[in-house]
Amino acid sequence: MQSFTPPKTFNQAPWCFNGHAHTVFCSLLFSAPALHSERQLIDTPDDDFLELDVVDKGKNCPVAVLFHGLEGNSKRYYVARLARQLIHQDFSVVLVNFRGCGSKMNRQRRFYHSGETEDIETVLQWVQKQYPNSPIFSAGFSLGASALLNFLKRHGSNHPLQAVAAISTPFELKRGSLNLEKGFNKIYSIRFLRTLTKKIDIKRKTYPDLPIFSGSTLYDFDDQVTAPIHGFESADDYYGRCSSYYFMDQIKTNTLIVHSKDDPMCPYKWTPIKEIENNPKLTPCLPDQGGHVGFWSLPPGWLELTVANYFKSALSNRKHQQIHAGN
């Protein structure tokens, strides 16, 4: 996408003095705007369901499908704020709740993970049926970005997405998991584990044979619970097979990569810069500040506007190509 130029500057809020400040302050102080969406439950091929929040701008408008991060949901500020900007730009939006992250516990044993692709495929098939004449775009945050990149790698060019944005991606899953046990990052790990263990305890009432978590870290949880439930041999097997660090050169879809250089949860040093820069389908946008899915800018909205402008640029390119083909 030659017509899109990432913004050269990111003017951070002065009180966001480091990556942790961006990450924590945005999470605590940013509220999710009201989107007036409609909740849709869609079936999955394995007799489960997914909860979607949909804002319909019309059957001929472009559609953006948004995926949240680990233990997030469609109501998280970062998802809703991007949705609001896209709605303002006349996109319909579909905000996806991964299994067990919506208002109801899902039916099957499985939950979701960083390499999930089947549920993404189910959502996109539903979107295609609902909006047969609309170009489709997608953005993922953190774990959602990792899952989206795994989907792109698995499907090559055989999917309906026109362009994608991957924001604050945990490119190297094992290093990122272990990094959450260091220093202040332990706060994030404790928060994730609190809700993850609560969910597995609830689900054990239906499936008594589910693994029992006896560890104290996110790595332990992935090794004892995530891996066996989702068909991996171990945490290392899961991380190795799903880490986008190792396949960014294989992505064949126009993708905006947004990652701050002070991300405390997914450190920039594990971003595969060379592979990203050498892949013409990928557009890096790597500000010095922003934290993890935070990006508190002055004026506010830098991240949302950057992603929306990228999608609008892809939309413009698509229309230009259609006109050229028609001639």
Q: How far apart are CA 304 and CA 72, in angstroms?
A: 18
209 with 115: CB under 8 angstroms? no
Q: Residue 258 is inside which H or E element, if any?
A: strand 255-258
Mean pLDDT for each consecutive 10-residue tract of the chain (327 residues)?
81 97 97 96 98 95 98 98 98 98 97 98 98 97 98 98 98 97 97 97 96 97 98 98 98 98 97 98 97 97 98 87 64
238 with 113: CB under 8 angstroms? yes
pTM exceeds cut of 0.95: yes
pLDDT of 22: 98
116 with 84: CB under 8 angstroms? no
304 with 64: CB under 8 angstroms? no
pLDDT of 142: 98
DSSP output for 204-226:
HTT-TTSPPP--SSHHHHIIIII
pLDDT of 294: 98
Domains of the chain: 19-171+245-326 (3.40.50.1820), 173-242 (no CATH)
pLDDT of 326: 62
Terminal alpha carbon distance of the chain:
21
Q: How far apart are CA 136 and CA 183, in angstroms?
A: 40
Active site residues per annotation: 142, 263, 292
40 with 318: CB under 8 angstroms? no
Both tokens of 103, joined, read: 């208002």
Give the strand pairing for 92-97 and 63-67: parallel
